[in-house]
């Protein structure tokens, strides 16, 4: 990435750039108790700044109000992750978007789906004070009563307690909050057309050259890199939703209540499918997650016992994965996990299930598979990974452990034996397969 002579001179004369962040906007950004800035925004900002050659220093704040005040006073040159608005343009200029996310309504489960906010009457929305969404909602939908609070946590608690009909959040935060904090009485109830969060870096208004430098860093971030950062913090699959504006137009032209009811039903069904899929899928790799395995495993154990058909498990671990993260960075580590998962998918039969077991550890559930066939599959996967050119790092290997179900055995015992076999592979030098031939009388292991 090339900087102009003037841009390089600016960086030479400004070796450190101060910035402020929202201290409590999980999973986008949080300032931890030990003063660390973490989250999606933190990683995107750091990556853009690093690519642009900008060295950052965090100014710690305790609330969003304090963050805004420090930005206005000039205590910090940058604001990390926010929407552009006329009010903020009084003291800030803005970079190109770091991230784009839709805003959605959150209501209680019993609230009807919101197709046209203009049609709402006698209802209230609760929003954090001083946000760009508050500005826009007041201007665009004066028919909805406005309640402002200090933070998003209070806003969603008020909806849960029926003290307000709705709030609005980004799709990522809405799905994250409902699942992570157990708000089972709440749902995503609609999307406002053209109310996207186009989250940018706010730069002090007199520092346009710094804005231009940061834009070069932002432009260098690839979609894959951006997705990997998001998936590190949010275990959901983000999909493009139904175009509600187009549906409303169709309803208006058709003039039929039946079509409106059908749209509502289809939207709810599609939303339910997406959320169920997200709850069962690992966002980084696209493989099943442990929740899915926990749902499926008892049924597979019972099926194997009742039919007498074999069932095998393969546990695998990426060798020296901490060294990959330390030497090449977490983004490279994520790409290694994605690459291994892709190679596994290419090696499996349709009846097998691949699972992100945790971190760099993956699990293969192999239906109707006796020990020798599971051993062959494990070795095929091991060779595929060993021979694959990953780039950075150039060479990746995995260790694997194989175990097959005993008569009357349950999943905990089967998993433990597979884990013991994996540990044996790692202790024996890694990049190998160990099959556990334990039976009730004794044990012996073979390694490849």
Task: Look up residue 394 and give its two tokens.
Answer: 């150039």
Closest CA to 77 of 198, 218, 214, 199: 214
pLDDT of residue 115: 84
Is the distance from CB of 60 to CB of 69 less than 8 angstroms?
no
Higher pLDDT, 246 or 388: 388
Report residue 438's pLDDT band, with 50, 70 and 90 as the boundaries.
low
Sheet holding 353-358, edge to edge: 353-358, 361-367, 311-318, 398-404, 433-436, 445-447
Is the distance from CB of 268 to CB of 275 less than 8 angstroms?
no
Is the distance from CB of 323 to CB of 356 less than 8 angstroms?
no
CA gap 267, 179 in Å, rounded: 19
pLDDT of residue 437: 67
Widest CA span of the chain, in angstroms? 78
**Helical (H) or strand (E) element with 194:** strand 186-204
Task: Look up residue 311 and give its two tokens.
Answer: 């069932």
pLDDT of residue 249: 45
For the chain, first and last CA: distance in Å? 47
**Positive or negative CA dihedral for 298, 301, 304, 308?**
negative
Count Cα atoms within 13 angstroms, Cβ side, for 13: 9
Average confidence score pLDDT of the chain = 85
3-state class (DSSP) for residue 392:
coil
3-state class (DSSP) for residue 303:
helix
- Helices 171-180 and 257-280 cross at an angle (nearest 10°) of 60
Residue 211: asked if its preceding bond is cis (omega within 30°), the reply is no
DSSP string of 223-250, one letter each residue:
HHHHHHHHHHH--S-------HHHHHHH
pLDDT of residue 448: 58
- 200 has which bridge partners? 82
3-state class (DSSP) for residue 291:
helix
pLDDT of residue 280: 73
CA gap 214, 216 in Å, rounded: 5
Neighbours of 121 (CB within 10 A): 8
Q: pLDDT above 70 covers what percent of the chain?
A: 86
Is the distance from CB of 62 to CB of 218 less than 8 angstroms?
no
Closest CA to 364 of 372, 348, 353: 353
Is the distance from CB of 91 to CB of 41 less than 8 angstroms?
no
Q: pLDDT above 90 covers what percent of the chain?
A: 59
pLDDT of residue 447: 53
pLDDT of residue 130: 79
Whether the predicted pLDDT of 85 surpasses 90: no
Residue 393: asked if its preceding bond is cis (omega within 30°), the reply is yes
* Chain centroid offset of residue 358 CA: 15
> Each residue of 283-312: pLDDT tens digit?
889 899 988 899 899 999 999 999 999 999
> Each residue of 127-142: pLDDT tens digit?
988 787 888 889 899 9
Provide mean pLDDT across the span 420-433. Answer: 96
Report residue 78's pLDDT band, with 50, 70 and 90 as the boundaries.
very high
Provide mean pLDDT across the span 266-276. Answer: 48
Report residue 266's pLDDT band, with 50, 70 and 90 as the boundaries.
low
Provide mean pLDDT across the span 61-67. Answer: 93
pLDDT of residue 161: 92
Is the distance from CB of 146 to CB of 127 less than 8 angstroms?
yes
Whether the predicted pLDDT of 237 surpasses 70: no
> Each residue of 362-371: pLDDT tens digit?
999 999 999 9
pLDDT of residue 92: 97
Task: Look up residue 330 and give its two tokens.
Answer: 């977490």
Is the distance from CB of 127 to CB of 105 less than 8 angstroms?
no
Report residue 170's pLDDT band, with 50, 70 and 90 as the boundaries.
confident
Task: Look up residue 144 and give its two tokens.
Answer: 């909805």
> Each residue of 389-400: pLDDT tens digit?
998 888 999 999
Residue 27: asked if its preceding bond is cis (omega within 30°), the reply is yes
pLDDT of residue 163: 95
CA gap 8, 259 in Å, rounded: 59
């Amino acid at each position: 990435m090339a900087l102009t002579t003037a841009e390089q001179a600016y960086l030479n004369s400004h070796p450190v750039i101060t910035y402020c962040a929202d201290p409590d906007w999980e999973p986008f950004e949080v300032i931890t108790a030990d003063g660390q800035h973490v989250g999606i925004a933190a990683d995107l900002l750091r990556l853009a700044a690093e690519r642009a050659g900008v060295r950052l220093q965090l100014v710690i704040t305790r609330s969003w109000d304090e963050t805004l005040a420090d930005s206005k006073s000039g205590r910090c040159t940058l604001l990390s992750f926010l929407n552009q608005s006329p009010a903020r343009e009084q003291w800030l200029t803005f970079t190109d978007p770091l991230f784009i996310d839709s805003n959605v309504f959150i209501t209680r489960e019993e609230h009807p789906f919101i197709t046209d906010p203009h049609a709402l009457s006698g209802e209230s929305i609760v929003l954090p004070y001083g946000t760009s969404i508050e500005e826009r909602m007041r201007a665009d939908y004066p028919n909805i009563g406005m309640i402002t609070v200090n933070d998003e946590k209070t806003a969603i608690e008020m909806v849960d307690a029926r003290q307000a009909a709705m709030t609005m959040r980004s799709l990522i935060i809405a799905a994250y909050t409902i699942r992570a904090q157990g708000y089972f009485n709440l749902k995503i109830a609609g999307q406002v057309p053209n109310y996207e969060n186009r989250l940018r870096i706010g730069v002090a208004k007199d520092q346009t050259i710094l804005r231009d430098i940061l834009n070069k860093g932002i432009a260098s971030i690839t979609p894959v890199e951006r997705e990997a950062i998001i998936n590190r913090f949010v275990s959901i699959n983000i999909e493009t939703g139904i175009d509600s504006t187009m549906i409303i137009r169709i309803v208006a032209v058709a003039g039929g209540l039946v079509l409106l009811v059908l749209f509502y039903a289809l939207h709810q069904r599609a939303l339910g499918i997406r959320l169920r899929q997200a709850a069962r899928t690992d966002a980084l790799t696209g493989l099943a997650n442990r929740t899915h395995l926990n749902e499926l495993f008892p049924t597979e154990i019972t099926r194997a016992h009742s039919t007498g058909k074999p069932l095998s498990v393969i546990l695998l671990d990426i060798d020296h994965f901490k060294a990959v993260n330390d030497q090449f960075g977490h983004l490279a580590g994520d790409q290694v996990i994605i690459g291994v998962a892709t190679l596994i998918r290419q090696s499996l039969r349709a009846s097998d299930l691949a699972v992100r077991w945790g971190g760099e550890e993956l699990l293969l559930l192999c239906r109707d598979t006796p020990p020798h066939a599971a051993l062959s599959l494990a070795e095929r996967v091991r060779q595929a990974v060993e021979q694959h050119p990953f780039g950075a790092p150039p060479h990746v290997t995995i260790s694997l452990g194989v175990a097959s179900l005993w008569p009357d055995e349950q999943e905990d015992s089967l998993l433990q034996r597979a884990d013991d076999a994996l540990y044996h592979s790692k202790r024996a030098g890694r990049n190998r397969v160990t099959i556990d031939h334990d039976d009730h009388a004794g044990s012996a292991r073979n390694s490849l």
